[in-house]
């Protein structure tokens, strides 16, 4: 399983916008737009890789089945579905590159982002972020970008609750998200 960078950035942006409404001084809209970019505008300064599962044994995935119950309390026809979850305690590694002046804001944003994955509004996918020193590896940035990115962070994500990340894509386990 992989946490796509686009999902992570979408959840981080959503968290930042929610925090902006509650704490405008701590999470200013201009800073959010600078870090994540705007539709039709300049691209954001935050670059992320996808998060890759550290577990080598995909058989550890949890598969939960459920069905829809009608108003009479019986299972609705053809509503059986299965969803794959990564078990609690799993770890994902990803890297972030951003200008140094954005690092404090980014760290505060991570501290305000406790959930990832599908069904996070229902309590699934509680996570804990850990920042480590990056490994000496070539940068993930494409050549010729207009910004200088001296801050490179290695993030290790540990989920405290099961995280909904399908390993296989078939109609029974595709879950739409709002990000």
Give the pLDDT confidence score for residue 176 in this predicted structure: 46
pTM above the 0.75 mark?
no
Instruction: Supply the mean pLDDT for the chain.
Output: 76
Quickly state the pLDDT bin for 13 (edges 50, 70, 90): very high
* Structure confidence by residue, pLDDT tens digits, 137-162: 555 545 555 545 556 666 676 666 66
* Structure confidence by residue, pLDDT tens digits, 29-42: 888 999 998 877 78
Alpha carbons 112 and 128: distance in angstroms, whole number: 10
Q: Answer for the pair 118, 124: CB distance below 8 angstroms, yes or no.
A: yes
pLDDT at 175 over 60: no
Pairs from 119-122 (Cβ < 8 Å, separation ≥ 24): 119/164, 119/175, 120/11
* Structure confidence by residue, pLDDT tens digits, 60-101: 777 778 888 888 888 888 888 887 777 778 888 888 888 888
């Amino acid at each position: 399983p992989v946490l796509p960078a686009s999902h992570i950035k979408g959840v981080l942006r959503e968290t930042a916008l929610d925090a902006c409404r509650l704490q405008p001084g701590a999470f200013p809209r201009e800073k959010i737009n600078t870090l994540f970019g705007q539709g039709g505008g300049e691209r954001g300064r935050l670059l992320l890789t996808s998060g890759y599962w550290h577990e080598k044994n995909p058989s550890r995935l949890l598969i939960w089945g459920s069905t829809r119950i009608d108003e009479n309390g019986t299972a609705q026809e053809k509503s059986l579905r299965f969803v794959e979850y990564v078990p609690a305690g799993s770890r994902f590694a990803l890297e972030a590159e951003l200008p140094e002046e954005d690092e404090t804001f980014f760290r505060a944003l991570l501290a305000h982002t406790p959930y990832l994955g599908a069904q996070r509004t229902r309590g699934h996918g509680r996570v804990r972020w850990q920042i480590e020193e990056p490994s000496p590896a070539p940068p993930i940035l494409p050549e010729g970008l207009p910004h200088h990115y001296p801050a490179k962070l290695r993030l290790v994500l540990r989920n405290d609750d099961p995280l909904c990340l399908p390993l296989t894509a078939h109609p029974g386990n595709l879950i739409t998200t709002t990000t």
